[in-house]
């Protein structure tokens, strides 16, 4: 019998790529260990637009990426229906843009297999009243929005259901090697301080931008290109249809509705690798996002902003373009045995949030080949946990006989069919997002929740208008009771409030500042922290 620290495959990185790869490997019968330094979806997986690309954005410049996007787009609608909002998207032409680009755009979309319908500006304004009324052209494409946290959690949960072991808050400190072969990894558990060794014939580097450092630890080079993208979240869902600019991709030209909010982004700036752990949004980026955003939907200029945040795209360097815009967003799957003569080591990187499944498939194919396993990928056909009962309305009808309450609906919207396993619970933890104490309990028990920030990524606690003002303390109390450690929960609450403040600070004026002041009073004066 294999020892408890021996696996078929070790996956480093609990972003969407790692979680997806863990699911694919586990579904193909491999014994899987997934290791994440922080929490799932902490890096770029949780710091993006949440855009379910149709591929249209890349159609003119990168047909290969565009084709991948539309294929994966259609797959995610099926297997992750509880994470996807089928909004459709517009590519609008403003008076200052070249309307001739539209024809080329539509033709490129169609050749990549993306439905693209030119619609009358009048009709576009009717379908999406928030759109800039000055538009001179609009194309409708099958964009959508996808909740990256939910998608990550569902992949991780399914990997576990297929036998995978998941270690969060555990950092790989060394790649164990013997000659030209990777044998496994040494880790440090950040919660307990415990050091451990894990062994597997195949190790997959799915560390996103941090994959650069992981590859270095293994003694190989993957030339990563850290490209920072800043985004703003608004407190209302201003638009129901994704709005893009119909021109060559540029700054702040996508507005995505998601749940109760909408998100404008992004910028693209090359940043030093050393700074990837602590991205800050500058006042200049805020100005740019607001100015450009208001061109897509003028209401943004007067809508309250909730947060500013930034992620780092894990692009792989191909040329010397300083902006990173011209680098292919394509998938990079490196078998380091072929490339560098290092056995048992694979890097999967590049790509996009919504092509994660294909990335996972490619990496798992390589791993299976190395292990001599002949099982085919089934992730494109098998729904994720939460999506088994079909869409939102069907799911609700199948779970509750009585008409669902608003918070039950909110729970079902977030967790899909898993809502049936969630106790009713007394009390609402988060009023902004209607998260019940039952849903918080469920997440603490089933979804690897070690801190308030973990809980936020699973349930949206603290993601709403008040940014944790009331719910952080309530949830911290529940975590303290469940983990039996008040001191840790109190420290955690301080960290959580600081993490929320980091996102509010760049945009703290007007009503946002009022709310920040109120929150400060509660935590410093009423609670006496």
Question: In the complex, which residues of this chain contact another protein (CB under 8 A)?
Answer: 283, 407, 425-429, 431, 436-437, 470, 473-474, 476-478, 480-481, 486-487, 489-490, 494, 497-498, 500-502, 505, 508-510, 513-514, 517-518, 520-529
- Collapse the DSSP code of 283 into the 3-class scheme (helix H, G, I; strand E, B; otherwise coil) and give the result: helix
Query: 127: number of CA atoms within 13 Å, CB side?
Result: 17
Q: How far is the CB of 501 from another protein (least distance, A)?
A: 4
Euclidean distance between the first and the last CA atom of the chain, given in angstroms as a whole number: 51
Q: At closest approach, how far in Å is the CB of 458 from another protein?
A: 18
> CA–CA distance from 385 to each of 30, 107, 270, 439, 446 (Å)?
19, 37, 37, 16, 12
What backbone torsions phi and psi does residue 410 show, to the nearest 5 degrees? Answer: -60, -40
Based on CB atoms, which residue is closest to another protein, 74 or 513? 513
CA distances, 39 to each of 15, 167, 191, 252, 374 (Å): 8, 9, 12, 28, 32
Min separation Cβ 518 and another protein, Å: 5
> How many other β-carbons are positioned within 10 Å of the β-carbon of residue 319?
8
Q: 238: which 2 tokens?
A: 């201003």
- The least distance separating another protein from the CB of residue 234, rounded to whole angstroms, comes to 15
In the block, residue with structure tokens 């994966």:
72
Min CB(452)–another protein separation in Å: 13
When the beta carbons of 26 and 463 are compared against another protein, the nearer one is: 463
Please state the closest distance from residue 22 (CB atom) to another protein, in A.
Answer: 34
Enter the DSSP assignment of 522.
I
Tell me how far apart the alpha carbons of residues 443 and 450 are, in angstroms, rounded to a whole number. Answer: 10
Within a 10 A sphere around the Cβ of 175, how many other Cβ atoms? Answer: 24
Q: DSSP H helical segments within 198-264, as ranges?
A: 211-217
Query: Residue holding tokens 């920072």?
Result: 228
Toward another protein, which CB reaches closer, 168 or 507? 507
Tokens of 428: 């609402």
Which residue(s) pair with 234 in the sheet?
Answer: 262, 305
- Least distance to another protein, CB of residue 406, Å: 9
Distances (CA, A) of 285 to 42, 50, 229, 290, 307: 22, 19, 9, 9, 13
Nearest Cα to Cα of residue 222 among 204, 200, 197: 204
CB of 271 to another protein, least distance (A): 19
When the beta carbons of 167 and 497 are compared against another protein, the nearer one is 497
**Integer-rounded Cα radius of gyration of the chain:** 23
Quick one: 146 or 507, whose CB is closer to another protein? 507
C-alpha neighbours within 13 Å on the C-beta side of residue 392? 15
Report the nearest approach of another protein to the CB of residue 255 (Å): 20
Q: Rounded to the nearest whole angstrom, what is the least distance from the CB of residue 231 to another protein in the complex?
A: 18
Q: Tell me if the bond preceding 266 is cis, omega within 30° of 0.
A: yes
- Judge whether 347 and 215 are in contact, CB under 8 Å: yes
Nearer to another protein, 14 or 506 (CB): 506
Q: Which is nearer to another protein, 250 or 513 (CB)?
A: 513
Closer to another protein by CB, 179 or 403: give it. 403
The minimum distance between CB 453 and another protein, in angstroms, equals: 14
Nearer to another protein, 83 or 461 (CB): 461
| The two three-digit tokens of residue 67, written as one number | 């084709």
- Pick between residue 326 and residue 524 the one whose CB is nearest to another protein: 524
Residue 17 burial (CB count, 10 A):
34
CB closer to another protein, 192 vs 524: 524
């Amino acid at each position: 019998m294999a020892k408890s620290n021996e696996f078929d495959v070790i996956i480093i990185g609990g972003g969407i790529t790692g979680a997806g790869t863990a699911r694919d490997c586990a579904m193909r019968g491999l014994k899987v260990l997934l290791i994440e330094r922080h929490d799932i979806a902490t890096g770029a997986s949780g710091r993006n637009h949440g855009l379910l690309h149709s591929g249209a954005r890349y159609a003119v410049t990168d047909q290969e990426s565009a084709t991948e996007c539309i294929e994966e787009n259609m797959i995610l609608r099926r297997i992750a229906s509880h994470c996807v909002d089928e909004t459709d998207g517009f590519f609008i032409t403003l008076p200052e843009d070249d309307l001739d680009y539209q024809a080329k755009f539509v033709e490129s979309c169609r050749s990549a297999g993306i439905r693209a319908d030119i619609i009358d500006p009048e009709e576009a304004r009717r379908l999406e009243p928030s759109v800039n009324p000055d538009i001179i052209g609009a194309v409708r494409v099958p964009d959508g929005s996808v909740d990256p946290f939910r998608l990550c959690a569902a992949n991780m949960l399914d990997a576990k259901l297929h036998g995978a072991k998941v270690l969060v808050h555990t950092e790989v400190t060394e790649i164990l090697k013997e000659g030209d072969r990777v044998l496994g990894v040494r880790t440090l558990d950040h919660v307990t301080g415990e050091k451990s060794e894990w062994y597997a014939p195949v190790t997959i580097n799915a560390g996103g931008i941090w994959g650069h450092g992981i590859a270095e630890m293994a003694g190989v080079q993957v030339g990563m290109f850290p490209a920072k993208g800043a985004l703003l979240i608004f407190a209302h869902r201003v638009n129901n249809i994704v709005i893009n600019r119909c021109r060559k991709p540029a700054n702040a030209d996508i507005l995505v509705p998601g749940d109760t909010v909408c998100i404008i982004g992004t910028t693209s700036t090359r940043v030093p690798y050393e700074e990837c752990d602590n991205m800050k949004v500058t006042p200049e980026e805020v100005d740019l996002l607001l100015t450009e955003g208001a061109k897509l939907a003028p209401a943004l200029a007067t809508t309250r902003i909730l947060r500013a945040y930034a992620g780092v795209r894990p692009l792989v360097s191909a040329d010397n373009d300083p902006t990173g815009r011209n680098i292919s967003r394509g998938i990079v799957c490196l078998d380091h045995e072929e490339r560098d003569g290092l056995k048992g080591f694979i890097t999967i990187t590049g790509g996009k949030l919504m092509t994660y499944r294909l990335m996972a498939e490619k990496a798992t194919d390589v791993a299976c080949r190395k292990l001599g396993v002949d099982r085919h990928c089934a992730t494109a056909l098998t729904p994720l946990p939460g999506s088994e009962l079909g869409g939102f309305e069907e799911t609700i009808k199948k779970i509750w006989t009585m008409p669902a309450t608003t918070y039950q609906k909110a729970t079902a919207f977030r967790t899909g069919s898993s809502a049936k396993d969630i106790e009713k619970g007394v009390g609402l933890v988060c009023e902004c997002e209607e998260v019940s104490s039952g849903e918080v309990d469920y997440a603490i028990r089933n979804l690897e929740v070690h801190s308030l920030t973990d809980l936020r990524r699973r349930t949206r606690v603290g993601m709403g208008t008040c940014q944790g003002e009331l719910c952080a303390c309530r949830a911290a109390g529940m975590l303290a009771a469940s983990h039996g450690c008040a001191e840790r929960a109190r420290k955690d609450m301080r960290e959580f409030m600081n993490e929320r403040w980091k996102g509010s600070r760049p945009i703290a004026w007007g009503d946002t500042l009022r709310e920040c002041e109120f929150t400060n009073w509660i935590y410093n004066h009423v609670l006496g922290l």
